[in-house]
Amino acid sequence: MTGVSTTTNLFDYFNDHVSEARGELSIQLSEDTGLYLASLMTERARTDRPSPPETTLAELHASAANARPADQARAYRELGDRSLYKLGYFRESLQRTPVTPTYYRDMGSAAYHRVDQVFKRWFADAFGPVFGELADQFGDCVGILGRIRDKQDESPDDITLLYQEWLKTGAEDVATRLRARGLVLPRWPGTP
């Protein structure tokens, strides 16, 4: 049983959990990228947030490809954020769709890479290493969000369910938890 949280706002709550998950998973990210992840979690948790139009990742990519730089950055960022959040926090929802976690991973990583390029070319690298790190360490960032989600679920981990989840998603944070319990995992079946 975990104690009562004493944070005063949602951002502090997620920032604490991002820092904790980074430490537990031994993931090296800049402080700015950690703050970005906390901000993303805060934004997606808000109930007063306007709902974006329901578009697919491919539609977001198509709309961004020929847009002006500011609109490109906005659309690619949404694509990256949506992919990261879905894989990290709601990866089980992908079990009901024909779209694979690998598709979300590849689209999200490429989108953040594109945002990084747009900011470096048109906006004096306004975000520094953040989007480059999100692109290069997309899987680690998914693991951080997944760890936060898992910690919020207070039911004990069932090793069989964890293994089944790993077989379906290939999530590295789930693999780490299985290895910590002594399992030696084969190569994930969905690896290209």
Between 127 and 107, name the one with better pLDDT: 107
Considering the chain, what is the average pLDDT of its residues?
Answer: 85
Q: Is 166 helix (H, G, I), strand (E, B) or coil?
A: helix
The pLDDT, as a whole number, for residue 3 is: 44
Domain map (residue ranges) of the chain: 10-155
pLDDT of 68 higher than 90 = yes
Count CA atoms closer than 13 A to 144's CA, side-chain side: 29
In whole angstroms, what is the distance from residue 101 CA to residue 170 CA? 8
In whole angstroms, what is the distance from residue 159 CA to residue 53 CA? 38
Between 130 and 153, name the one with better pLDDT: 130
pLDDT of 153 higher than 50 = yes
The pLDDT, as a whole number, for residue 47 is: 67
Classify burial at 95, counting beta carbons within 10 Å of its beta carbon; exposed 0-12, middle 13-18, buried 19 or more: exposed
For 173-182, the pLDDT digits (tens) are: 888 877 776 6
